[in-house]
């Protein structure tokens, strides 16, 4: 079953489910920010779907902290990827220990926007 995140402009974003999709995204482009790491890759499969995944390891903290980090990253994806994400790409947001949970949300928004500009500005 595919999970969908609704976006503001009527487009829907799929959530990555398979480990192999996460591994392929890890081999793509990367852009680190103060709040998280963004991994991205063009799928080139002809599908216009925008897919996104979220990961928070045990380094982030206990289950409460990991869930909080993932909730914040999902909210970021809804706000920023709706306008700046490129259809046909996979994105994975990786939480950073001691940063994703405590960094101000406005700074995280700016981090994601800047990371997307750098990834797609480098020959997308």
Structure confidence at residue 4 as a pLDDT band (50, 70, 90): low
Report whether pLDDT(3) > 70: no
Distance CA 31, CA 40 (A): 9
* DSSP string for residues in 40-93: EEE--SS---EEEEEE--GGG-SHHHHHHHHHHHHHHIIIIIHHH--TTEEEEE
Burial 32-69 (b: 16+ CB within 10 A, else e): ebebbbbbbbebeeeeebbbbbbbbeeebbeeebbebb
Q: Which CATH class is domain 12-118?
A: alpha beta
pTM, to two decimals? 0.87
Interval 62-99: pLDDT, tens: 999 999 999 999 999 999 998 899 999 999 999 999 89
Interval 35-47: pLDDT, tens: 999 999 999 888 8
Report the phi/psi class of residue 47: left, alpha or beta, with left for phi > 0 and alpha for psi in -120 to 50: beta
Structure confidence at residue 8 as a pLDDT band (50, 70, 90): very low
Report whether pLDDT(13) > 50: yes
């Amino acid at each position: 079953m595919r999970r969908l995140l609704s976006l503001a402009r009527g487009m829907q974003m799929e959530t990555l489910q398979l480990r192999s999709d996460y591994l392929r995204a890890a081999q793509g482009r990367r852009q680190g920010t103060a709040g998280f790491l963004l991994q991205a890759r063009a799928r080139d499969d002809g599908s216009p779907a925008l897919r996104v995944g979220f990961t928070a390891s045990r380094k982030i903290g206990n289950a409460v902290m990991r869930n909080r980090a993932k909730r914040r990253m999902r909210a970021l994806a809804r706000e920023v990827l709706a306008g700046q994400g490129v259809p046909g790409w996979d994105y994975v947001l990786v939480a950073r220990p001691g940063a994703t949970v405590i960094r101000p949300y406005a700074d995280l928004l700016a981090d994601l926007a800047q990371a997307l500009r750098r990834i797609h500005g480098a020959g997308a």
